[in-house]
Structure 1
């Protein structure tokens, strides 16, 4: 009866519309939370109050849930991850929230707003209140508690994870094997070891958005975790090379010019380090696996730590030129002497400029009237004021250019709003509507209508009121020839959701090129995939590190290990998932030696040559 009453009240609240559903994952209506005898006092509009109620949930209901789900970190989760708490209770909050607060014995109702700024203030308050000599959480847990956490982890994969349903990996057997190993131990279980073992199991699933994290682990204070190789590491032509910076010119050169390739470190072959030790990226597309693997090898201490292997302070490296070898000993260092290409450095600058609301460096006319625009991240417009207007203005200004280059290399993803803006220009009227993405939600329930988490990604059910009959005709037409690479079990997934794009009032008529690389990830990979196949659009560069997961976060109750898992399967128009496949470019342009070593963008310049050769 209580649950029914809560749902009734929540439905009524939606009807009287406290507005838009909250899209932020990390947000709060409070700027701080302090505790007195396990009772929360919240800071709201610069005043402290007792919390009595939040929307239809009483304080007791919220705290009971936190204690049950988050164990020793229940207060931290309540104060910093309130959105997760409410979602865990089956409720997606609105941006505006009804708060029942009391002060000096007087209780009043207020309207609060979930913002990331509030949440950041709450996090800073918690840090400021932490005493330097405070007691740290135990790094070992009893065997029985570890075994209970493994049971919970298996249930997460079974009932929540989307990719565990597609994977052929026998995770149940792997978990049982780990449980048997733990059961035979005589002492308590080390939490770092448990985290890493669980992470290795998760990596086999093929979920590129998944992660396993022991949040009580202090990386800074660990003896060997922060040890790095004393030279740079990068991928080139399918191999791993060692580099050092040329201090005079700012470019890079081979650490040993006569022997550029790394063959092994401490007797472990480079292939083993890439394919086995760096298990987090083992299911990534090949070039992404090499690039991310080279970064992992650079952080050698962390790589060994994540494999539960002790790390000495010195290593033996074998270099090769393909025919003979050279062996050298090195001491590891805590200094960051790693490789950072011109492309990475420019991306960081562009990202910072956008953060400062300076957009002018994102676009320009290059090479005699070719429009160029860089998108460093798939930003949400409400977080970056003015960006939407800027992109729209620049796309209009490019209407008479010879061609358009959209550069999303090294873009880590984000939301899909920017994709919608570009759709209006790139989708031509004769190809509109354009079905760009098909997705399924992991569920044991019969879901056929729209879902909030999918709406936020512009994904709608077939009969959604958001789709017109012409959209459904386009869906029907695509489905006639569509064959998925893997079968979707209808008993474990929802009906499909579709992202359908439309042409705008004025479309870009000249050729458009989307420049991608192996570090175009998540929503950036969705961006490339969405426009692939349009008549005047070509994807150029290297295969993206595709992923699109609609992730959820769970905490193992005893060790408090954070488990992030995807709940969605996301398919491209070719029937392949984004995860593990990425989007293959129409025109392949690899990063060559000149781009890797020197401050020269070979991919962009080669694309310019191609554009002019097609004129």
Structure 2
């Protein structure tokens, strides 16, 4: 847990033109443990602030008592600074529409003390009244699921340029998904994954299927390193991108008993059907969310990683058990600038 003293000490790192007690959002509410923010009168799901992933912000906020709801509203600037943000009082927001899931980018949003104070007052009022927005449902009725599949197919035919360019028979694939719905109610995330796998087969690297639920869970852990391609093979790099995890045996041969080629094959259905290089790069990035990947594969989450390293020629094999991380590592400059 980060102490109050540490939170206060971070204020000295804030650029002079940034008020440490400021926030860019006009409103803030919570859907379960996920924030929804208001900007210029419209509500969105926040994705990133000046390029800093909101999931990273929330993960760090969870380590500061009393947790994400207070810290996201009242200590956003110190958290951003801890994540090596070097912005100013005007930020760019990457958001997602709550109506249709489309990506929205709003540039030049001012962070002000008055916005932060309004969020703080709203939170205090909500706590006093006991009011809280209910968590989103995790299931929908079979009737609603069938309607969603129908709407999904109609939307692709009407708006998706990739339909008809490949060998995917959309009607047949949607029929198979409908036939596979054997229960009532239907799990939202399972349906989302089925539709996402279908969408990936068209090969659009920018397309994805989202739902009202986050893919992961609040307790999920992450890889404690970054995976990157090199001339010697896939290597593991420290989260600050300063050095290799195992300099004398840098190549990652296996994780949790699966070779890296096996991981790529397992994750391939969830990646856009593109070049082998694209698929491999995206799989390595997605493996950062190792607990989510394990859950999709029906495996136990939270357990330490069992990683096999070696030299480039396969010699010098080293097996290590490494604890997972509570923070998702981020890609960037090599090495990371300080």
Q: TM-score, normalised by structure 1?
A: 0.33
**Alignment partner of 1:214 is 2:205:** no
Alignment partners' CA distance in 1, 2:266 and 2:280:
12
1:232 pairs with one of 202, 226, 236: 226
Name the residue aligned to 2:195: 198
* Shift in Å, 1:210: 0.5
Give the Cα–Cα distance (whole angstroms) in 2 for the partners of residues 238 and 312 of structure 1. Answer: 30
User: CA shift at 1:332, angstroms?
Assistant: 1.7
Q: Does 1:298 align with 2:288?
A: yes
- Cα 1:129–1:172 change in 2 (3 A) is farther
Distance 1:135 1:212, change over 3 A: same
For the Cα contact (< 8 Å) 1:196–1:306, is it kept in 2?
Answer: no
Tell me, yes or no, if structure 1 residue 328 matches structure 2 residue 320.
yes
1:319 aligned residue: 309
Say if 1:158 and 1:315 are closer, same or farther in 2 by CA, change over 3 A: same
Output the CA distance in 2 between the equivalents of 1:127 and 1:197.
40
**Counterpart Cα distance in 1 of 2:120 and 2:210:** 20
Q: How many correspondences in the alignment?
A: 235
Secondary structure (helix, strand or coil) at the match of 1:328 reads strand
1:166: which partner in 2?
Answer: 165
1:252 paired with 2:252, answer: no
* 1:363-512 → structure 2 map (5 Å cutoff): none
Which protein is bigger by CA-based radius of gyration?
1
Coordinate RMSD, CA, aligned: 4.3
Deviation for aligned residue 1:264: 2.2
Q: Distance in 2 between matches of 1:44 and 1:274?
A: 42
Q: 1:175 to 1:252 in 2, by over 3 A?
A: same
Note the C-alpha offset of 1:241.
1.1
Q: Distance in 1 between matches of 2:299 and 2:175?
A: 22
Equivalent-residue separation in structure 2 for 1:203 and 1:135 (angstroms): 32
SS of corresponding position for 2:154: helix
Relative to structure 1, is the Cα distance of residues 173 and 118 closer, same or farther in structure 2, using a 3 angstrom cutoff? same
- Give how far 1:166 is off: 0.7
Supply the distance in 2 between the matched residues of 1:177 and 1:126 (Cα, whole angstroms): 47
Kindly indicate whether the alpha-carbon contact (under 8 Å) linking 2:242 and 2:336 is maintained by their aligned counterparts in 1. Answer: no
Match of 1:591 in 2: none
User: Which runs of no fewer than 5 residues in structure 2 stay unpaired?
Assistant: 1-25, 28-38, 42-95
Structure 1: 4+ residue segments shifted above 6 A: 82-85, 115-121, 123-128
Deviation of 1:144 after TM superposition, in Å, equals: 2.0
Match of 1:274 among 234, 248, 264: 264
| CA deviation profile, 1:198-225 (whole Å, cap 9, x unmatched) | 1111111101111111234385x5322x
